[in-house]
Copies of this chain bind each other. A is one copy, B any other.
C-alpha cells in the first residue's frame, strides 16, 4: 500500500516478548531503538509497542485489529509490523502451541487484512536459546518466508543470523537466558535498520 502523503507516521508493532523488549534494561527493545533512530533522522514517528510476552500467532490474530483500530483514528500514515512465531513452536503437553500450518495461515490472514489499509512489514521469529525449539523456529521461519514471497510481502528472517552471532548468544546468556539485554536489542535494531524494506532504513531517501 502506498504511504499516504502525510508526515505523521504511526506504527503498531505486534508481536511477542522480543517485540515488547522483555529484559531490556532500558525498557524499549529493538522497537524503541528503530523509532528513536527514525526521529533522529527527522521523521515524525509515533511508536505503539504492542508486543505481548508469550503471545503466539493465534494470540496476535485475535487482538491486532481491535488494537489497531483505536490507535489509527485520525488521518495519518498508518504502518503495521508483525513479528511472532517463536511461541507457536513451544511444546505444551507434548504438542506445539500452534502447529506449522495454522501458524502460516495466521500470518497470511493478518497480512492480507492489514495491507488493505496499512503499510505492512513482517520480521521473522526470534530464537529462544533452546536448541530443539530453535530448530523448529528456523523451519517455521522458512515457511513464513515462502508465504511472504507468495504474497509479495517484505519479510526479514532473523533467527539464523541471531543464533549464529556470538555477541547475541553471550548477551542472552548474561540476561535472563532467553531474551537479550541492551546489546542484543541493539543488534536486532541494526538488522531492521539495514533492511532496505524498513520504512525508515538507514539507506532510504
Contact = CB atoms under 8 A, between A and B. Distances in A.
Interface residues of A, number: 30
A28 B52 CA distance: 17
A36 B26 contact: yes
A40 B25 contact: yes
Interface string A5-40: 000001000000000101001111000100110011
A95 interface: no
Interface in A33-89: 35-36, 39-40, 45-49, 52-55, 59, 62-63, 66-67, 70-71, 73-74
A193 to B, nearest CB: 14
A103 B66 CA distance: 23
A20 B35 CA distance: 13
A27 B54 contact: no
Contacts of A28: 26-28, 32
Nearest to A32: B27
